């Protein structure tokens, strides 16, 4: 990775991103917007929450991305009886009568937290530390997780019995909240053709851990003009009811708005979005394209909004006008 300048590095990044898209597209039919958001999360050092009904290839998507990125990958099925030590690891007494630490599934580059809302808050909190601090604490000792580290959590929106809703503090740790929809008819037809035969796809590794870390640092170095930075912060401010910059819709329909982390992710998302297109600095349109997935889980509707059927997306749309 001996690029002479950041401009040359951005050009190389575009090529690698397109290669990733082509490889993932061999397995994942359609869902291009979802794939784009997940990749932007990875290159922005964020985490992603996927919300969709069962059978929309959420797990397959993460498997495929881990394969083409050449990263270590673990899937954790979250259940009501899952304990923190089940994901972080635990200390056991060895043959030499000394305690030794056995690493849990969190010690990988990509973690799929399947149905994250089915586990109690105690276990969710253990994941929260890993997401925010990139460390795990067991028996008072901290263990650093390997970089790059990325959590992709899934959530089923239709079965809420026996679930533990994620607290706002944990939701805020996710860069994107991505909603998966049903595939189009032609896409579903192709999925069924591929998955009901002995059709096998060989995936090629496009990027390694060192290259991913390099491109993550490159995204941070991309310059942002003052007006784009101001637009991102103003957009987050518009969602905060009863504050100086709140719009009337927010005052009327929101209990809470997005915090400063939303502004940070809006800028990072815009930078990565610009780099994907081969631009060397983001514009306001790049901020807008990332806004819905970044703000969706950071604003809380009030009873009036729920009673009148006002969606989170409608409120974000008003802020974008």
Contacts of 306 (CB under 8 A, 6+ apart): none
Whether the upstream peptide bond of residue 148 has omega within 30° of 0, thus cis, is yes
What are the structure tokens assigned to 114, written together? 């399947």
**Co-location of 53 and 113 in the same domain:** yes
**Co-location of 13 and 108 in the same domain:** yes
Number of domains in the chain: 2
Which helix (H) or strand (E) covers residue 51, if one does? strand 48-51
pLDDT greater at residue 129 or residue 160:
129
Residue 108 within any structural domain of the chain: yes
Give the pLDDT score at 284: 95
Q: Residue 77's beta-bridge partner residues?
A: 114
* Across 190-215, average pLDDT: 85
**Co-location of 26 and 170 in the same domain:** yes
- The domain boundary, picked from 175, 210, 245, lies at 210
Residue 201 within any structural domain of the chain: no
Q: Residue 103's beta-bridge partner residues?
A: 89
Going by pLDDT thresholds of 50, 70 and 90, the confidence category of residue 111 is: very high
**Co-location of 252 and 106 in the same domain:** no
Nearest one of 150, 145, 118, 121 to 42, comparing CA atoms: 150
End-to-end alpha carbon distance in the chain: 41
**Co-location of 115 and 258 in the same domain:** no
Nearest one of 241, 265, 254 to 300, comparing CA atoms: 254
Residue 274, pLDDT > 70, answer yes
- The domain boundary, picked from 210, 235, 250, lies at 210
Going by pLDDT thresholds of 50, 70 and 90, the confidence category of residue 171 is: confident
Q: Report CA dihedral (29, 32, 38, 41) to the nearest 10 degrees.
A: 160
Least confident range from 1-5, 174-178, 258-262, 284-288: namely 1-5
pLDDT greater at residue 171 or residue 276:
276
| 283-316 per-position pLDDT tens digit | 999 999 999 999 999 999 999 999 999 999 999 9
* Across 216-242, average pLDDT: 94
**Co-location of 70 and 165 in the same domain:** yes
**Co-location of 42 and 101 in the same domain:** yes
Residue 215 within any structural domain of the chain: no
Give the pLDDT score at 311: 92
Residue 187, pLDDT > 80, answer yes
Give the Cα separation of 34 and 50 in Å (integer).
9
Residue 192, pLDDT > 70, answer yes
Around Cβ 79, how many Cβ atoms within 10 Å? 14
**Co-location of 61 and 180 in the same domain:** yes
**Co-location of 182 and 131 in the same domain:** yes
Helix, strand, coil proportions of the chain in percent (round to 5)? 50, 15, 35
For the chain, what is the mean pLDDT? 88
CB 91, CB 98: distance < 8 Å: no
Residue 58 within any structural domain of the chain: yes
- The domain boundary, picked from 210, 239, 257, lies at 210
Going by pLDDT thresholds of 50, 70 and 90, the confidence category of residue 195 is: confident
Residue 218 within any structural domain of the chain: no
**Co-location of 51 and 110 in the same domain:** yes
Residue 253 within any structural domain of the chain: yes
**Co-location of 170 and 256 in the same domain:** no
Residue 199, pLDDT > 90, answer no
Residue 28 within any structural domain of the chain: yes
CATH number of residue 157's parent domain: 3.40.50.300
| 68-102 per-position pLDDT tens digit | 988 888 999 988 888 988 998 888 877 777 888 88
DSSP 204: P
What range does the domain containing 297 cover? 224-320
Long-range CB contact pairs, 156-163, < 8 A, 24+:
156/51, 156/52, 156/53, 156/54, 156/115, 156/117, 157/51, 157/52, 157/53, 158/53, 162/80, 162/118, 163/117, 163/118
Nearest one of 281, 286, 278 to 235, comparing CA atoms: 286
Q: Residue 152's beta-bridge partner residues?
A: 48, 112
Residue 219 within any structural domain of the chain: no
Give the pLDDT score at 119: 85
Give the Cα separation of 58 and 60 in Å (integer).
6
CATH number of residue 270's parent domain: 1.10.8.80
Give the pLDDT score at 262: 94
Going by pLDDT thresholds of 50, 70 and 90, the confidence category of residue 58 is: confident
**Co-location of 77 and 151 in the same domain:** yes
Residue 3, pLDDT > 90, answer no
Nearest one of 131, 126, 117 to 85, comparing CA atoms: 126
């Amino acid at each position: 990775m001996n690029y002479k300048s950041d401009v040359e590095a951005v050009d190389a990044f575009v090529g690698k991103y397109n290669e990733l898209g082509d490889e993932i597209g061999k397995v994942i039919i359609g869902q291009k917007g979802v794939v784009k958001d997940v990749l932007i999360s990875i290159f922005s050092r964020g985490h992603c929450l996927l919300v969709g009904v069962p059978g929309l290839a959420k797990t397959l998507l993460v498997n495929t991305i881990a394969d083409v990125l050449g990263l270590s990958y673990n899937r954790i099925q979250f259940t009501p009886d899952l304990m923190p030590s089940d994901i972080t690891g635990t200390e056991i007494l060895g043959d030499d009568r000394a305690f030794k630490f056995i690493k849990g599934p969190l010690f990988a580059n990509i973690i799929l937290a399947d149905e994250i809302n089915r586990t109690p808050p105690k276990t969710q909190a253990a994941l929260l530390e890993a997401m925010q601090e990139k460390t795990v604490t067991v028996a008072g000792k901290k263990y650093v997780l390997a970089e790059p580290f990325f959590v992709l959590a899934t959530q089923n929106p239709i079965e809420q019995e026996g679930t533990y809703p994620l607290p706002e503090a944990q939701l805020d740790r996710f860069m994107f909240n991505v909603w998966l929809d049903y595939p189009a008819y032609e896409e579903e037809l192709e999925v069924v053709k591929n998955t009901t035969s002995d059709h096998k796809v060989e995936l090629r590794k496009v990027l390694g851990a060192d290259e991913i870390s390099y491109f993550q640092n490159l995204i941070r170095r991309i310059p942002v003009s003052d007006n784009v930075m101001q637009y991102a912060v103003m957009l987050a401010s518009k969602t905060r009811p009863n504050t100086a910059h709140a719009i009337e819709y927010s005052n009327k329909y929101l209990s809470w708005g997005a915090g400063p982390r939303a502004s940070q992710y809006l800028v990072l998302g815009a930078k990565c979005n610009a780099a994907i297109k081969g631009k060397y600095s983001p514009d306001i349109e790049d901020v807008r394209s990332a806004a819905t997935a970044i703000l969706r889980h950071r604003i809380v509707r009030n009873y009036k909004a729920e009673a009148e059927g006002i969606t989170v997306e409608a409120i974000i749309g008003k802020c974008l006008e």
